[in-house]
Amino acid sequence: MAVTEVRREERQPAEAPKRSTLVSWLTTTDHKRIGILYIGTAFFFFLLGGLLAEMIRTQLFEPDNTLFNFHRYNQLFTIHAITMIFLFVMPVTVGFANFIVVLQLGAPDMAFPRVNAFSYWLFPLGGILIWLGFLSPNGAAPGGWTLYAPLNQTLTPGSTPGWGTDVLIMGLLILGLSSLLGAINFLVTIFKLRAPGMTMFRLPIFVWTFLTTSMLLLLAMPAFTAGLAALFIDRNFGGHFFDPAAGGNAILWQHIFWFFGHPEVYILILPSMGIVSEVIPVFSRKPLFGYRAFVYATLAIGMLGFGVWAHHMFTTGAVYAPFFAFLTGAIAVPTGVKFFNWIATMWRGRIKFSTAMLFAIGFLMVFLIGGIDGVFVASPAIDYHLQDTYWIVSHLHYVLFGGSVFGIFAGFYYWWPKITGRFLSEKLGVVHFIFMLVGTNLAFFPMHISGLHGMPRRIAQYRELASIDPSIVMLNRLSTIGAYILGVGILIFIANALLSFRKPRTAAADAWGEGNSLEWATSSPPPPWNFDELPPIRSERPVFDARHSRVQPTPVSAEGGES
């Protein structure tokens, strides 16, 4: 059997420099270690963002709660959103991609390992800068994650003075640079560092989705950078970009922001779609149904994602609604194609309900609700009724929490043995999943109804509304209870993760016994140089081919890992 052999002694440096573990982690350029650093740091910010979420929901348990004043409440939801989007979902998927994409390509490392390390270190820097805002005399940025002008300028009454918003802008600029360099790195790695035989149409779906994500980052992020720079100039150097009184244009900010912001939501969801597409075939014991259709659907989402930004701006009256409504409806089609792919993959498969698979199926159910919510408000007539209500809050949490985060947890359970060599407990995993599924629906489903009843988002008290419509109070209390259940679910996951380190490293190279892509061809965890040998790559499932070929593949050493 043809095996690309790399002699191990050639990869060992003659005399490895002696370094402490801490220094070796701080100075690492190994994509696997950087991936773990990304995942760990992002999870830390996830807990901080989750804490803010629980504070927000606690405030809303009573219609006229005075736990936080209005100004503090505004800071809580702003930094909650920024943290979850820019400091959790984006970096954690980058972390998985760092670890997994390179392995799935059969590559030894990223194209630019030192740029990769630089991208990582910009991320905690930006995160700390954003959170430093809480030390400002005026508190952290209170103006919403969308940073709408002129609210987030300093010239108009009721705007956001103080340096809390300025450090947020600077932090976002730093995170933007980090994402941009990361995107370039991933694109070059995927285009140039594929193993022999790994053609584009043999790439695992996770690689395809991350390729599309990187293209979106590359072409959307700079618009945000330009907008943030303009906003910073307006705030600090007396500029007039978004100041209507001096000839500027406030709607201009919305255009620039959403030109980035809409591709951004696909940046947040596509990697999770990729993870789910890796998990479902493995635990259904079938190849992914319609590989090419899935790839084209992903690329179509990527392209259409640049043509729908103004559906966030229907109520400004400044955009041509029919065009954007049509394209928004159109972008639901490739997502629908993917649903057929996933369901048809499971159809008549021999499904194994592991925790990763449960989260993947949970993703399908919850994300579907969120997607259909979105198509509702794609219609301008309905959008005029629901703009800035809790319907939108419900929609975005169904797609970002029920979608992205469920996908991320599927990834945690699926790749944990590859990353650590140990399995997470399936028993605790099922409990975790049940808490997450119940908590998500309990927290976010009542928001649909309260939104339809007219409850606006981003308010700290709702006494007047509750006196007209008493059901609002009960709906909010259900949401708060749901949020607490989610919190417990996350604690169960943390316990599961910590307990796994007490177990021995038992994961084989192909930890689930049904792996398809190349990360399952090397030991768990992989050695620093990734592969001692590669199976021949003749389809999109090289590990499956190797498992079922007449000649057995050369066994991969179980204790190859040194990390």
* 111 touches another protein (CB under 8 A): yes
Q: Which two tokens stand for residue 81?
A: 């959103």
Question: Which uninterrupted H or E stretch holds 534?
Answer: strand 533-534
**Residue 526, C-beta contacts closer than 8 angstroms, at least 6 positions apart:** 32, 103, 418, 519, 560, 561
Stretch that binds another protein, among 30-38, 67-75, 180-188, 510-518 (CB under 8 A): 180-188
Q: Is 532 a catalytic residue?
A: no
Which residues on adjacent β-strands are paired with residue 533?
5
How near is the Cβ of 242 to another protein at its closest, in Å? 9
* Of 127 and 227, CB closest to another protein: 227
287-301 burial string, b = 16+ CB within 10 Å, else e?
ebbbbebbbebbebb
Long-range contacts of 241-249 (CB under 8 A, 24+ apart): 241/149, 242/149, 242/150, 242/153, 243/149, 243/150, 243/153, 243/155, 243/156, 244/150, 245/155
Q: Does 226 interact with another protein (rule: CB under 8 A)?
A: yes
Examine the residue annotation and report whether 338 is marked as an active-site residue of this protein.
yes
Q: Which amino acid is at 443?
A: A
Q: How many CA atoms lie within 13 A of 271 on its CB side?
A: 31
Q: For residue 266, indicate whether it is catalytic.
A: yes
Q: Which is nearer to another protein, 247 or 322 (CB)?
A: 247
Considering the rule CB under 8 A, would residue 255 count as an interface residue with another protein?
Answer: yes
* 219, 247 contact by CB (below 8 A): no
Does 303 bind another protein (CB under 8 A)? Our answer is no
Active site residue 523: no
Does residue 256 touch another protein according to CB under 8 A?
Answer: yes
User: Which of 338, 395, 397, 547 is labelled catalytic?
Assistant: 338
Q: Select from 52-60, 243-251, 361-369, 412-420 the region that touches another protein (CB under 8 A).
A: 243-251
State yes or no: is 20 an active-site residue: no
* Shortest Cβ 33–another protein spacing (Å): 21
Question: Degrees (nearest 5) of the Cα angle 94, 361, 285?
Answer: 90
SS percent in the chain: helix, strand, coil, step 5: 70, 0, 30
353 part of the interface to another protein, by CB under 8 A: no
Q: How far is 385 from 376, CA to CA, in rounded Å?
A: 11
196 binds another protein (CB under 8 A): no
CA distances from 233 to 51, 142, 228, 236, 337 (A): 32, 19, 8, 5, 44
Interface with another protein, residue 246, by CB under 8 A: yes
Catalytic one of 311, 395, 448, 541: 311
Is 31 a catalytic site residue?
A: no
Least distance to another protein, CB of residue 148, Å: 16
- Read off the DSSP letter of residue 521: G
Among the listed residues 74, 104, 165, 185, the single contact to another protein using CB under 8 A: 185
Q: Which of 87, 89, 220, 313 binds another protein (CB under 8 A)?
A: 220
CA-wise closest residue to 405 among 359, 446, 444, 342: 359
**Token representation of residue 297:** 């659907």
Q: Is 72 helix (H, G, I), strand (E, B) or coil?
A: helix
Please count the helices (runs of H) and the strands (runs of E) in the chain. 19, 2
- What backbone torsions phi and psi does residue 294 show, to the nearest 5 degrees? -65, -45
C-alpha span between 58 and 415 (Å, rounded) = 34
What is the nearest approach in angstroms of another protein to the Cβ of residue 518? 20
Catalytic site residue 311? yes
> Nearer Cβ to another protein, position 115 or 491?
115
Q: Does 299 bind another protein (CB under 8 A)?
A: no
**Residue 239 interacting with another protein (CB under 8 A):** yes
Determine the straight-line distance between the first and last CA of the chain, rounded to whole angstroms.
Answer: 30
31, 80, 395, 397: the active-site residue: 80
Q: In this chain, which stretch among 122-130, 177-185, 406-414, 491-499 interacts with another protein, using CB under 8 A? A: 177-185
d(CA 226, CA 43): 29
Catalytic residue among 266, 390, 398, 415: 266
Whose Cβ is closer to another protein: residue 256's or residue 465's?
A: 256
Select the residue interacting with another protein from 133, 227, 525, 553 (CB under 8 A). 227
Figure out which of the listed residues 128, 252, 299, 351 binds another protein, where binding follows CB under 8 A: 252
**Shortest CB 323 distance to another protein, Å:** 17
Q: Which entry of 41, 78, 165, 179 is annotated as an active-site residue?
A: 179
Among the listed residues 277, 298, 328, 450, the single catalytic one is 277
Nearest Cα neighbor of 423 from 490, 356, 476, 349 is 356
The binder of another protein chosen from 40, 196, 222, 470 (CB under 8 A): 222
The window from 119-127, 187-195, 270-278, 453-461 that contacts another protein (CB under 8 A) reads 187-195
| 191 is a contact residue toward another protein (CB under 8 A) | yes
Does the active-site annotation cover 179?
A: yes
| Contacting residues toward another protein, per CB under 8 A | 111-112, 115, 180, 183-185, 187-188, 191-193, 218-223, 225-227, 229-230, 233-234, 237-241, 243, 246-249, 252, 255-256, 259
Active site residues: 80, 109, 145, 178-179, 262, 264, 266, 277, 311-312, 335, 338, 457
